[in-house]
Copies of this chain bind each other. A is one copy, B any other.
């Protein structure tokens, strides 16, 4: 079943308002959350609304956070999210990075005491309208085993980088530092299909194609596969350290779970989960028009490369941009279990889907 974007927007905003979010925050959170549905990252969109509601019910999300800077220099800040929705904390922290960049050339903000922020790409893309390069990353609950590890110590820890172009559409990379995002695993579980080799390992560290391996004590694997997983492990670690060790959030195995039925670790090493945002003014390096002309050349060169038969070289962000245009016009398809979840959330608050 397919729903118009505006209908899902009104519904989601009403739910956040019912949770007690101030109106501006409810709008901010809704736009951030639904950007995932528009861009085709269905696992991170409205399907997660019930998850946020349950965390709020469990007293683990503060609907009226006082988000503020607790430490800063001309080009850096640490932001305390006050236990708020990451969907609200992240846009505010990204704005601080943009403001710093306006004055100092670049701005870098590490965030503690936050919750899941939706898709990283949405936050990174906030820089584009200002002719800035945007970066966003976050740590997440531990599902990933470092190379050789049986223990799960890292999240899927995504990295997003958005780079403005001129005539060409902007460059937007947004990817988990694992071989596969957890959402792809959930889809395979739902369809009862095996997953490709290199995605997961069993509890004893052996390779597996079982989509339920992580549920049974196994782990997701870092990007890179058999001969390169140490590189994905490096990337996931860097995201964890920038997001949480710089800010004072929880890191590694201490990152609290997104699901309300799992308790956060009893011995936290910091506050909430952590994010990291960056903004670099393009004209802090060379005149913006010059930069964008060369980005156009970069993009058209790569897009027009000779490709394997039946394929085309894709510029990062192409599929999500096209999906977004399509879904704004044609609506957002939701699976039946997601619709049921939304209806139960609606009933709780007396809001009609």
Contacts and interface: CB of A to CB of B under 8 A. Distances in A.
B148 A308 contact: yes
A316 interface: yes
Contacts of A146: 302, 305, 313
A277 interface: no
A116 to B, nearest CB: 21
Copies in the complex: 2
A108 B75 CA distance: 11
B75 A147 contact: no
A199 to B, nearest CB: 7
B245 A227 contact: no
Contacts of A103: 74
A150 interface: yes
B75 A74 contact: yes
A282 interface: yes
B237 A316 contact: yes
A115 interface: no
A94 interface: no
B73 A286 contact: no
Contacts of A298: 240-241, 245, 251-252
A205 interface: yes
Interface size class of A (residues with CB under 8 A): 35 or more
Interface string A134-177: 00000000000011111101000000010100000001010101
Interface string A268-289: 0110000000001110111000
A256 interface: no
A291 interface: yes
Contacts of A334: none
Nearest to A146: B313
Given A75-B75, A245-B294, 15 more contacts: A72-B105, A73-B281, A78-B286, A146-B305, A149-B307, A149-B308, A153-B301, A163-B241, A173-B235, A173-B238, A223-B223, A223-B231, A224-B228, A230-B314, A246-B286
